[in-house]
Amino acid sequence: MPPEITFLPDNKKIGVRPGTTVLDAGKKARVHIRTRCGAKAACLMCKVIAADPAGLSPLSLNEKLKLGGLEEMGYRLACQAKIVGNATVTIPEDPLKAAVREQLARMKEEEL
């Protein structure tokens, strides 16, 4: 049985071949993961948070250096992390969208 990956917060689950990157699995599942560098680990936009690292390949030295300590909080680069077993990853909210959402919430509170 192929490994499955679940993408949160969308709760989309998909079966993939072992060795598929989280980024490629996201594309297959039609889950948007931001990226700009063409999967070269250069832009660092494709960060995801792994619920359990056992379902993903070990961190490469390059990925560890790029993450600069964030890996200790479960962060991985979707373009580098390969699926080796069942895995669940959370796609963090885009910082710009989060700022807009917070501003709109503040404006709504001020109207009340």
The CATH number linked to 103 is: 3.10.20.30
Q: Do residues 88 and 5 make contact, with C-beta atoms less than 8 angstroms apart?
A: yes
Number of domains in the chain: 1
Q: Do residues 35 and 63 make contact, with C-beta atoms less than 8 angstroms apart?
A: no
Domain with 76 in it: 4-111
User: What are 24-68's pLDDT values in tens digits?
Assistant: 999 999 999 999 988 888 889 999 999 988 999 999 999 999 999
Residue type (1 letter), 44 = L
Q: Residue 111: its pLDDT value, please?
A: 78
pLDDT band at 100 (very low <50, low <70, confident <90, very high): confident
